[in-house]
């Protein structure tokens, strides 16, 4: 104890030196470990450089710098993507409330108005829609589960409003092309209410998201002729909603409508009733004016023989008129246009906002 008192400063200095030596050792060890990591990374970079120098094509040397050229091409691609964004406009959702928050009442009202408008557009374009269902409801363009409802699943109003706008854009193209009939339109399930609707209204596919956009699937089946099909494809290419992209197309001959076969008309002959002439009446021919006067007023009878009755005309049988022979003249038929059944798989491209 006395030694500590006599050598207090020496003891404190020794302890401080010991602590500093420990800190110096820890710092040296950490830097040594960092040096090893940097050395390993440097070895990897050297190995990568050696591999690049041995590759074909060579990354470049001197005036030729393939690495810089690759970076320039990447920048050109980014600039092209930036310019192409203006050609992928998103279809506006229905409805678009001014407050920004969509309510069930607003969506229900907009859904009824939009479906009614699409049905009237179809009637104006002479497009045949699917018949009424078993409950007597008209075609709802894949929104049968939401048409009769006033309350919707939580979090489903915004996706449903987006799909309603996209479905209206698709139908506008079909009606403008004046297709013969719309058989079906299917979309992706985005709400719990969709599990209660007809299964023919929905697809099993889901939206796919990549680095650039979200791809939402749709399937539409309709019947038309080849000019209308060309008009449909042209309409999708020039639609205001530029995000509509045709993914696949399947074209087949439309099944013929069922026709009831009728037997050929058979000619029957009904014989006329037998002619029974009345009995002949014998009268006396007048010999003078007095006798004629007496016979006229019943004063005296006269006898005469009426001419014999004429025989009934012979029956006439109607003969079938032979069909006129086909005209062998004129131009030959080169193309016999038939109705087509077309199934289109569409993708609605919705670009992700750029960073």
Q: How many CB atoms lie within 10 A of CB 87?
A: 10
* Angstrom distance (rounded) from CA 202 to CA 193: 12
- Residue 68 makes CB contacts below 8 A (sequence gap 6+) with 60
Note the pTM of the prediction, 2 decimals: 0.60
The full DSSP string for 270-300 is -PPPPP-PPPP-B-BPP-SHHHHHHHHTTSS
Taking 60 as the threshold, does the pLDDT of residue 176 lie above it?
Answer: yes
Specify burial of residue 292 (Cβ count, 10 A radius: 0-12, 13-18, 19+): middle
By three-state DSSP, how is residue 5 classified?
helix
85 backbone dihedrals φ, ψ, rounded to 5°: -60, -30
Q: Is the pLDDT of residue 329 over 80?
A: no
CB < 8 Å & 24+ apart, contacts of 301-305:
305/280
* Helix (H) or strand (E) run with residue 123 in it: helix 104-124
pLDDT at 276: 62
Supply the pLDDT for residue 101: 83
304 pLDDT band (50/70/90 cuts)? very low
CB contact at 8 A, 130 and 182: yes
Mean pLDDT for the chain overall: 79
Q: Which tops the pLDDT comparison, 296 or 160?
A: 160
User: Which of 294 and 94 is assigned the larger pLDDT?
Assistant: 94
**Can you read off the two tokens belonging to residue 216?**
């939402």
pLDDT tens digits for range 219-242: 999 999 989 999 999 988 888 776
Segment 306-325 mean pLDDT: 58
Residue 302: the pLDDT is: 47
Query: Is pLDDT larger for residue 9 or for residue 258?
Result: 9
Residue range 70-98: mean pLDDT, rounded: 84
Per-residue pLDDT, 8: 74
CATH topology for 104-255+340-351? Alpha-Beta Plaits (3.30.70)
Angle between helices 226-237 and 157-177 (to 10 degrees): 130
């Amino acid at each position: 104890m006395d030694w500590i008192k006599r050598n207090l400063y020496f003891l404190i200095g020794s302890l401080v030196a010991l602590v500093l030596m420990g800190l110096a050792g820890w710092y040296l060890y950490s830097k040594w470990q960092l040096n090893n990591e940097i050395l390993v990374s440097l070895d990897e970079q050297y190995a990568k450089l050696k591999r690049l120098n041995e590759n074909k094509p060579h990354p470049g040397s001197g005036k030729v710098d393939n690495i810089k050229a690759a970076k320039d091409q990447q920048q050109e691609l980014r600039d092209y993507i930036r310019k192409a964004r203006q050609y992928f406009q998103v279809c506006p959702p229905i409805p678009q409330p001014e407050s920004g928050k969509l309510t069930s009442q607003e969506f229900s009202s907009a859904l009824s108005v939009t479906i009614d408008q699409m049905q009237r557009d179809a009637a104006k374009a002479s497009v045949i829609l699917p018949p009424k269902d078993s409950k007597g409801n008209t075609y709802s363009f894949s929104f049968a589960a939401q048409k009769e409802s006033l309350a919707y699943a939580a979090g489903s109003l915004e996706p449903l409003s987006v799909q309603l706008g996209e479905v209206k854009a698709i139908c506008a193209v079909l009606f403008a092309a004046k297709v013969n009939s719309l058989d079906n339109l299917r979309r992706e399930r985005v709400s719990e209410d969709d599990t209660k609707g007809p299964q023919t209204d929905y697809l099993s596919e889901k939206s796919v998201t990549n680095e650039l956009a979200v791809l939402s699937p749709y399937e539409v089946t309709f019947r038309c002729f080849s000019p209308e099909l060309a008009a449909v494809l042209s309409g999708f290419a020039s639609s205001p909603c530029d995000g509509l992209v045709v993914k696949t197309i399947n074209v087949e001959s439309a099944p013929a409508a069922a026709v009831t076969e009728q037997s050929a008309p058979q000619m029957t002959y009904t014989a006329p009733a037998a002619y029974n002439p009345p009995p002949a009446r014998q009268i006396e021919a007048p010999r003078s004016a007095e006798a004629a006067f007496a016979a006229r007023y019943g004063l005296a009878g006269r006898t005469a023989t009426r001419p014999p009755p004429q025989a009934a005309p012979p029956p006439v049988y109607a003969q079938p008129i032979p069909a006129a022979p086909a005209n062998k003249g004129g131009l030959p038929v080169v193309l016999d246009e038939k109705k087509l059944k077309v199934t289109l798989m569409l993708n609605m491209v919705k670009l992700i906002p750029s960073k």
